[in-house]
Chain A
Amino acid sequence: DAKTTQPTSMDCAEGRAANLPCNHSTISGNEYVYWYRQIHSQGPQYIIHGLKNNETNEMASLIITEDRKSSTLILPHATLRDTAVYYCIDLGGGTSYGKLTFGQGTILTVHP
Chain B
Amino acid sequence: DTGVSQDPRHKITKRGQNVTFRCDPISEHNRLYWYRQTLGQGPEFLTYFQNEAQLEKSRLLSDRFSAERPKGSFSTLEIQRTEQGDSAMYLCASSLVGGLQFFGPGTRLTVL
Q: CB within 8 Å of B: which residues of A? A: 2, 41-46, 49, 85, 87, 94-105
- Count B interface residues, CB 8 Å: 26
Residues of B within 8 A of A95 (CB): 97-98
Residues of A within 8 A of B106 (CB): 41-43
A31 to chain B, nearest CB (A): 14
A88 to chain B, nearest CB (A): 11
**Interface Cβ pair total, 8 Å cutoff:** 56
Contact with A along B79-112 (1 / 0, CB 8 A): 0000000000001010101111111111000000
Residue contact A100 to B98, C-beta cutoff 8 Å: no
Residue contact A104 to B95, C-beta cutoff 8 Å: no
A96 to chain B, nearest CB (A): 8
Residue contact B43 to A97, C-beta cutoff 8 Å: no
Residues of A within 8 A of B42 (CB): 2, 85, 87, 102-105
Residues of A within 8 A of B95 (CB): 97
